[in-house]
Structure 1
């Protein structure tokens, strides 16, 4: 149920941080106590490279914590990682994409020790060889090379206190003997996610206000197991299994609704009250298996890489939504409506990739490859409505979606001189899909075919002017296919008159990205970015007045002098998932990453401006054909972004560290309206003691990271959302490292189904 609110109310988590991430060039906590004997942060032809091998921050930290402290990276919600100016960050390890879904990947990063990391590469504009969508960027984690056989591991325990208490524990192991390597991880945790909402919409004649809370308890269990065997000196075979389970039972959404309408006969406003009480039981399973073969074909580094994968994702969700007629104090009077929803989703994917990288002498590299994805989603939804004194309404919908994606790519990379290098490439993708439904009320759903081909070029160059100055430019074009939940034509009820509606007619959108970078002395940088989104996929609030019979306390219609029921005007709000025009985003960011005072202070400071041009309008619900007053977002906005992240070493032995981090994002126009300014102050302290690490983190100390969005339309309609996700909290963790720390790291393998996984969320 929490997902309904997040999407329905304002898509706050997604929109806010998809916008806020522009500040994430900003969000780069510093690495403590680095001994600068070489370039720590530098720009290569198509990526930024951050060398963290010598940093004591890695000791006792998780990989997720280390990533948050990398220039150009950030996490404002401690759940997702963002790259400056990008919608999403895909995680690669040793050049191979991690083979798991988004939620389990975050938990994996939070339970994996950071001591094994050599460097972090940030690819802001990925080349044609990468399977990415929209303006996604890539974070490539390069692991240290271990030298000897043996066993090592890491145990971690943490406790978090926000509005509620949560705890987690993890165990990671890594074993190598001769040609065989085995690595594994297991993680478990419990937490209760809490949110509060204020939702207002309407006009001078009618309006709704909903105020309430979400309480969502979660239990998680997951992990991975990797087997890697060296067949010959030049070939390896690997098998990877990932599994994740989430249980969220008795999740609740309680909203008190005030519905005001204007009675023209009485020339006065009439206010009625209801309580919406939603209860949800949900659980999800995610299992994937990947088989990888790698063959090094020559001494220059040429290689063939083949992957075959299977992914099974299952989510079972049951909701009980009750609407009670209430008095002005929120007391229930009677039950007015009950809606039961059974919302299962099953996704099966079979995938394969083939990549061949050929390296020639004189610094020339040619890469060619192909991929295939076959996905089937099965959504057998049941929707039953009960009203007092009325017949039960059954509205089942069995929606099945089949999709086939074929892709080819070619890239050529050449170092033309010691100063100049370039890369050019292209992808060609063929997508065929078919959605079928047994919904007789909407015959248009019964057979939805899509077929489109896309040619996606890429270009980049890098020029080292001298030892101190470096410039680079990149251009890419990408597609953004809708997530599988977005095209499942299900309605998620928030209140009786407010709900979200997914849309099977959503089509893929196109994105064109350009980026210019200037770097000085490997410490100061300027990034200019421009992104154009065509037919962008988002959520649009449509609202209109509807007429309802006025009821007495017994639920019976009140009759007028003419003997007919008195009708009142109420406001109906639908959040429709759809393609909503075009959008441009432009940003300029200045940053510095540097150490001071004999490395007692390491700081990342960023300041920038962002300019958004929105051009969208919608007046017809594409899922039903219902006509609404037009909703427009044809506005421009400029906003400022400031962020500073500092790590202070407190002793000579490099065992105590203090972190002080702050960000500010000015108000800006997004799809749903004007997003008000956001800010957060985070503090942390860490103690390293032999193989133990103790740390305490306090987030959003000033309790200022609260989302507010407001929108006023020319036709008089307005919409307001306030969402507090209780980000202020405290986390205490204890980490113990054991075993032979020179154990060679097992290869992390890219999965063939990875491009599909992000669309299950």
Structure 2
């Protein structure tokens, strides 16, 4: 069912949306006896923004996901993905290491990670050559708090959420250190049902179709991680990271009432789709670090393994009916088995050499080998005999092998207190083979990419700073998207995956101005060449979403923002507003898999949309134990590859009470029920397509968190993961 709910998946892939630190403090000497400290809560460093949340009231009793939504430049419109400056999906790093889990598992982890464990959030909107990320993806690096010095601490959290149905989650974390050994662990569980309502309309000059009804997806998640760090000597460390997540989604269902109008008249039918699926995501990473001198030079080496397994069985039935939805009889039934198995092996090595205090050279590389196995079975029911027959045109056993070898080199130089620069390049060789075993069809690709990067920073004076960054990246399709399978919502409305999808090239530019580390202006531009996405093609009553390389996309952003305390710290406001211009150009009229011809789908449109995001935390008590949170976002209409997204917004309110080691949070999300996705498109030839998706985002939630153990802290080193972008591509 999770693959069936494709309009929301489209949105998730396309939509956009105090404190203490270790930075230098500014001293203002008013007299010999008095020194005033000014803390830099949000600041721009060489290649990233740093949001220091270690002791922020907003971090008490929250989750990692909730805390990220309070960070400047970070947003989410669907509670399933995170964006930076409204661009694509952000890649999550923890302590400098990429999370190996897929997007769904990472978000589940963040929603159950106690925010008390987080010290800083680093927002890297234009990643350098040393990072393994793709396309427009930015990086959110979560730096956890230091671990206890010879002791134990931890926390437990329980949450109850009510939207259309009641949902629960619980999590616990435990940290331990003794001499040279440090251990960090967590365990989480959730019982969470996603409910949606759809109204789908599409048509041509002769055909008209309306599908409406609910989609329900009950899901149970069990996961956790174990990090073990051991100091071999003062200069050598070894670490083992284990991550695991299991998802069980049995009993997912959809029921859509379809009204079909043709020149011959109007008919009615009901489509019922039932799905059982389970997925397992397990990874291991072994890391070794050697400090080679006292200046900070070091060698990092890692090896990693990822095993992802998903098994899904679905049955799709269509019944003839009348306008009153009375069922007359079964007209069609088919069933599918859609397993996916991914094994990935990665090795990575980096060397950082500080030649002088102001001059650093970094070099490294990685190699990854990934194998996927998708044995798809599609069977149609013979209504006369009652037996199922294999549909060989839609069944396939598709295997895919991919090898990526990469190397990078960067140079960073501080020329003066006012000016610094960092330049580098990344080389990637991709060698891939896709084979459909049933037909012996083979698709081979081998291509090289040189990906330059540059950033420049200028500090005009203590209050004013400027920075500019440029990067180029490669955007590869997910492993599921290249598996040639159809995913049905109704018999005439479905997704067609495509093994012929090619990687896209992406170019990013960003100019930033900051004033007093509280006010900022950001201008950015992103160009996607030969962008790959899902395109709706229509032929009569059939609507087929084709995954393919469609055309070029330009995004131009201009944001102004503020992150500042007012009224002696009573109010903390994190607000940004701006405009985004999207330009989409493309043309498609042929299914690249079947060669079927459709009415042309043309997109040549430019829109300018307004965006506002404001997160506010108000202290209600002089004891700093009661807070009110008021958060709001608004996005006006904007063009996407599949049509025009209509305005969308949400108002969230929360009340937070701190009592000793306990924190209680009551919050209401989407108070006015305005977070509803509506996409509409009308072609010049009269073809039209619209999607109305209500996700029941209005909900109320109560969470309770208890912190325990030793509060004395000692740093546990940051670990560089061996993974490339592999795991972010396991999702469907």
TM-score by length of 1: 0.91
Give the corresponding residue for 2:217. 216
Whether the 8 Å contact between 1:482 and 1:537 is mirrored in structure 2 is yes
Task: Give the alignment partner of residue 392 of structure 1, picking from 389, 392, 395.
Answer: 389
Summarize the alignment of residues 338-737 of structure 1 with structure 2, pairs less than 5 Å apart.
Answer: 338-389=333-384, 392-395=389-392, 396-440=395-439, 446-545=441-540, 571-737=541-707
Give the corresponding residue for 2:317. 322
Give the corresponding residue for 1:565. none
How many angstroms apart in 1 are the aligned matches of 2:10 and 2:145? 38
How many angstroms apart in 1 are the aligned matches of 2:237 and 2:515? 41
1:19 aligns with 2:36: no
Change (3 A) 1:308 1:10: closer
How many angstroms apart in 1 are the aligned matches of 2:644 and 2:679? 5
For residue 71 of structure 1, report the CA deviation from its aligned partner.
0.9
Greater mean alpha carbon deviation, residues 60-69 or residues 211-220 = 60-69
Greater mean alpha carbon deviation, residues 68-77 or residues 398-407 = 68-77
For residue 325 of structure 1, report the CA deviation from its aligned partner.
0.8
For residue 724 of structure 1, report the CA deviation from its aligned partner.
0.5
Give the corresponding residue for 1:555. none
Change (3 A) 1:600 1:613: same
Change (3 A) 1:206 1:388: same
Whether the 8 Å contact between 1:285 and 1:313 is mirrored in structure 2 is yes
Secondary structure of the residue aligned to 1:470 is: strand
Larger RCO (CA within 8 A; separation ≥ 6): 1
Whether the 8 Å contact between 1:373 and 1:404 is mirrored in structure 2 is yes
Give the corresponding residue for 2:119. 118
For residue 299 of structure 1, report the CA deviation from its aligned partner.
0.5
Whether the 8 Å contact between 1:10 and 1:672 is mirrored in structure 2 is no
For residue 742 of structure 1, report the CA deviation from its aligned partner.
2.0
Whether the 8 Å contact between 2:88 and 2:137 is mirrored in structure 1 is yes
Secondary structure of the residue aligned to 2:168 is: strand
Greater mean alpha carbon deviation, residues 389-398 or residues 77-86 = 389-398
Whether the 8 Å contact between 2:225 and 2:241 is mirrored in structure 1 is yes
How many angstroms apart in 2 are the aligned matches of 1:621 and 1:602? 52
For residue 146 of structure 1, report the CA deviation from its aligned partner.
4.6
How many angstroms apart in 2 are the aligned matches of 1:323 and 1:713? 29
For residue 45 of structure 1, report the CA deviation from its aligned partner.
1.7
Whether the 8 Å contact between 1:99 and 1:749 is mirrored in structure 2 is no
Whether the 8 Å contact between 1:100 and 1:754 is mirrored in structure 2 is no
C-alpha distance after superposition, 1:452-503 (max 9, x if no partner)? 0000000110101111111110000000111000000011111111111100
Secondary structure of the residue aligned to 2:721 is: coil
1:95 aligns with 2:88: no
Secondary structure of the residue aligned to 2:16 is: helix
1:285 aligns with 2:284: no
How many angstroms apart in 2 are the aligned matches of 1:166 and 1:537? 35
* Aligned-pair Cα RMSD in Å: 1.8
C-alpha distance after superposition, 1:507-545 (max 9, x if no partner)? 100100000011111111110010000111110000012
Whether the 8 Å contact between 1:198 and 1:210 is mirrored in structure 2 is yes
Task: Give the alignment partner of residue 272 of structure 1, picking from 237, 262, 267.
Answer: 267
Secondary structure of the residue aligned to 1:20 is: coil
Query: Please, which runs of 5 or more residues in structure 2 have no aligned partner?
Result: 26-35
Give the corresponding residue for 1:240. 241
C-alpha distance after superposition, 1:257-293 (max 9, x if no partner)? 0000013xxxxxx100111000000000011111110
C-alpha distance after superposition, 1:405-456 (max 9, x if no partner)? 000000000011000000000000000000010344xx7xx10101100000
How many angstroms apart in 2 are the aligned matches of 1:11 and 1:166? 22
Give the corresponding residue for 1:261. 262
How many angstroms apart in 2 are the aligned matches of 1:187 and 1:362? 43
Greater mean alpha carbon deviation, residues 607-616 or residues 386-395 = 386-395
Whether the 8 Å contact between 1:31 and 1:55 is mirrored in structure 2 is yes
Whether the 8 Å contact between 2:148 and 2:176 is mirrored in structure 1 is no
Secondary structure of the residue aligned to 1:622 is: coil
Whether the 8 Å contact between 1:364 and 1:413 is mirrored in structure 2 is yes
Give the corresponding residue for 1:312. 307
1:175 aligns with 2:176: yes
Give the corresponding residue for 2:32. none
For residue 147 of structure 1, report the CA deviation from its aligned partner.
6.0
1:74 aligns with 2:75: yes
How many angstroms apart in 2 are the aligned matches of 1:501 and 1:3? 12
How many angstroms apart in 1 are the aligned matches of 2:570 and 2:700? 25
Greater mean alpha carbon deviation, residues 413-422 or residues 55-64 = 55-64
Secondary structure of the residue aligned to 2:690 is: strand
Secondary structure of the residue aligned to 1:104 is: helix
Give the corresponding residue for 2:33. none
C-alpha distance after superposition, 1:639-658 (max 9, x if no partner)? 11122221110010100000
Change (3 A) 1:285 1:116: closer
C-alpha distance after superposition, 1:332-365 (max 9, x if no partner)? 1111111110111100011100011111214111
How many angstroms apart in 1 are the aligned matches of 2:475 and 2:679? 25
C-alpha distance after superposition, 1:644-678 (max 9, x if no partner)? 22111001010000011111100011111111000
Give the corresponding residue for 2:294. 299
How many angstroms apart in 1 are the aligned matches of 2:319 and 2:37? 65
Greater mean alpha carbon deviation, residues 720-729 or residues 54-63 = 54-63
For residue 329 of structure 1, report the CA deviation from its aligned partner.
1.0
Give the corresponding residue for 2:328. 333
For residue 311 of structure 1, report the CA deviation from its aligned partner.
0.7
Whether the 8 Å contact between 1:51 and 1:120 is mirrored in structure 2 is yes
Whether the 8 Å contact between 2:19 and 2:54 is mirrored in structure 1 is no
For residue 75 of structure 1, report the CA deviation from its aligned partner.
2.6
Query: Please, which runs of 5 or more residues in structure 1 have no aligned partner?
Result: 22-29, 264-269, 546-570
Give the corresponding residue for 2:133. 132
Give the corresponding residue for 1:2. 2
For residue 206 of structure 1, report the CA deviation from its aligned partner.
0.9
Secondary structure of the residue aligned to 1:115 is: helix
For residue 754 of structure 1, report the CA deviation from its aligned partner.
4.7
Greater mean alpha carbon deviation, residues 331-340 or residues 103-112 = 103-112
Whether the 8 Å contact between 1:101 and 1:757 is mirrored in structure 2 is yes
C-alpha distance after superposition, 1:660-708 (max 9, x if no partner)? 1111100011111111000110000000000000001110000000011
Whether the 8 Å contact between 2:19 and 2:55 is mirrored in structure 1 is no
Whether the 8 Å contact between 1:2 and 1:214 is mirrored in structure 2 is no
Secondary structure of the residue aligned to 2:115 is: coil
Whether the 8 Å contact between 2:12 and 2:80 is mirrored in structure 1 is no
For residue 593 of structure 1, report the CA deviation from its aligned partner.
1.3
For residue 388 of structure 1, report the CA deviation from its aligned partner.
2.8
Whether the 8 Å contact between 1:226 and 1:746 is mirrored in structure 2 is no
Whether the 8 Å contact between 1:152 and 1:738 is mirrored in structure 2 is yes
For residue 72 of structure 1, report the CA deviation from its aligned partner.
1.0
Residues matched between the structures, number: 713
